[in-house]
Amino acid sequence: MTKLHRIPVLPGCSHPRSGLIAALTLGAALTLGATLAMGCGKTNAAEKSHGHSEDKAPAKDKDHPGTSDRPVHISAAQRKDFGIRIAVAGSGTLKLHLALTGEVTLNPNRVAHLVPSIAGVARRVLKQLGDPVTKGELMAVLASRELARMNASYLASQAKGGLAWTEYQREKKLYAKGVSSQREFQRARLAMSKASVETQLYRRKLQALGLSAQDISQVALNSARRMSRYELRSPFAGVVVAKHISHGEYLKADTQAFTVANMSDVWIELKIYQKDLPLVRKGQSVKIAAAYGQQKTTGKISYVSPLLNRSTRTAGARVVIDNRRGKWQPGLFVTATVTTDEVPVAVLVERAAIFQREGKPCIYVETGDAYTCRGVTLGRGNEHRVAVVKGLPPKTRYVARGGFVLKSEQLKSTFGDGHAH
């Protein structure tokens, strides 16, 4: 007979089979844990043995994030195709500029306000707004009663003077023959002199109204309409820029009938702020631009106002420019660049050659077929040129135009160094 052995009962188990199940479960758990540990160890080792991970980025240029620190190599043919222009850094004169704003205005010395010297009614109006006129050209005709009276008085004085002259000649002959007394002769001579003075007085009055000697001499030869005729003529060649006269309108002696302007030259009135006043002087060269830079000219400052405008706190400066072609219409807003100083510098480069790396300037320098962006320290400059204080020795060949192509090539080279998994 086979002898049966008792299976010990594990603590916490109420039955022998329960202990067996618990032991088997514990053994399986230990085996699984060991397997997982071995697998994880292999995975970590594989990752460490790989050349790089996905999270690690390519090395960047510490001076120019996103670009390689390696130079760009291009051939002479590529440089020509890309339009890259090489210049040599050297000494030069830097012109310092000040930007101002202004407006085109009429030259007041070439503006005439036509005002009749005597009241009258407009009988003819020959010129309209914008019409060109020549010197002495007839612009309007007025009919003036006052002028008619003055012409009549002048003619009367002429007639009176003629009679006085005749009487004087008669008395002169009689006095020579001893027929007339000296008293009668002196009286005739005095009357002639008074008549002559009176005629001259009326003649001066007519001349003061603007009548020429020819106009006055024609008064006695024309009709009554001519005696009241007053003509408005242009004092010089120009353009009618204002008109305040209509046919049949009554004009007083202070009515401004026309404004004629000669715009062969115009003024540029510039505004100068307080802080810039010490920089602006008479005689400085100025570049003027209008119509978004499409219209340009040059000139010199002819006047700087000694007074400031109380409301704007600005002073005025004037530039006189030639306008015989009529391009600069009064009222145009303009920008002006004033050359305030000319400074000699040791190294002068074109502003288009300057690039930025982390807020610091650099210039592409040529070494054979290689181009590197060299960091520099800049000094003063204008819109076209800038002085280099440090980082670029004289006679260095640099990229004056086309640097963007080199920068693009650097970026492409940088992006091409990485690869995806």
CA–CA separation, 204 vs 199, rounded Å? 9
| CATH number attached to the domain at 72-94+344-413 | 2.40.420.20
**Contact yes or no for 260/112 (Cβ under 8 A):** yes
- Picking from 56, 72, 53, the residue whose alpha carbon sits closest to that of residue 64 is 72
What is the model's pLDDT at position 2? 41
Q: What tokens does 59 get?
A: 């090395």
What is the model's pLDDT at position 416? 58
All CATH 2.40.420.20 domain ranges in the chain, comma separated: 72-94+344-413
What is the model's pLDDT at position 417? 53
What is the model's pLDDT at position 207? 87
What is the model's pLDDT at position 75? 85
All CATH 2.40.30.170 domain ranges in the chain, comma separated: 97-108+262-343
**Contact yes or no for 19/9 (Cβ under 8 A):** yes
How many other β-carbons are positioned within 10 Å of the β-carbon of residue 293? 8
What is the model's pLDDT at position 225? 66
Side-chain-side CA neighbours of 395 within 13 Å: the count stands at 0
Helices 145-177 and 182-208 sit at what angle, rounded to 10 degrees?
160
| CATH number attached to the domain at 114-261 | 2.40.50.100
CATH class of the structural domain 97-108+262-343:
mainly beta
CA–CA separation, 330 vs 189, rounded Å? 62
All CATH 2.40.50.100 domain ranges in the chain, comma separated: 114-261
Side-chain-side CA neighbours of 127 within 13 Å: the count stands at 27
**Contact yes or no for 398/87 (Cβ under 8 A):** yes
CA–CA separation, 361 vs 354, rounded Å? 6
What is the model's pLDDT at position 353? 94
Which distant-in-sequence residues (6+ apart) come within 8 Å of 119 by Cβ? Answer: 144, 146, 250, 251, 252, 253
Per-residue pLDDT of the chain (421 residues; tens, 9 = 90+): 444 444 444 444 444 444 433 433 444 444 444 443 444 444 444 444 344 434 444 444 444 443 445 788 888 888 888 899 999 999 999 999 999 999 999 999 999 999 999 999 999 999 999 999 999 999 999 999 999 999 889 889 988 999 999 999 999 899 888 888 889 989 999 999 999 999 999 999 888 888 888 888 777 666 666 788 899 999 999 999 999 999 999 999 999 999 999 999 999 999 999 999 999 999 999 999 997 778 999 999 999 999 999 999 999 999 999 999 999 999 999 999 999 999 999 999 999 999 987 789 999 999 888 999 999 999 999 889 999 999 999 999 999 998 888 888 877 766 655 444 4
Phi, psi of 81 (to 5 degrees): -65, -35
Q: What tokens does 107 get?
A: 């030259």
What is the model's pLDDT at position 227? 85
Geometric angle at alpha carbon 417, from 411 and 419, rounded to 5°:
120
CA–CA separation, 164 vs 190, rounded Å? 9
What is the model's pLDDT at position 222? 63
Q: Which residues are bridge partners to 337 per DSSP?
A: 99, 287
3-state SS, residue 118:
coil
Q: What tokens does 370 get?
A: 């290689």
Side-chain-side CA neighbours of 416 within 13 Å: the count stands at 8
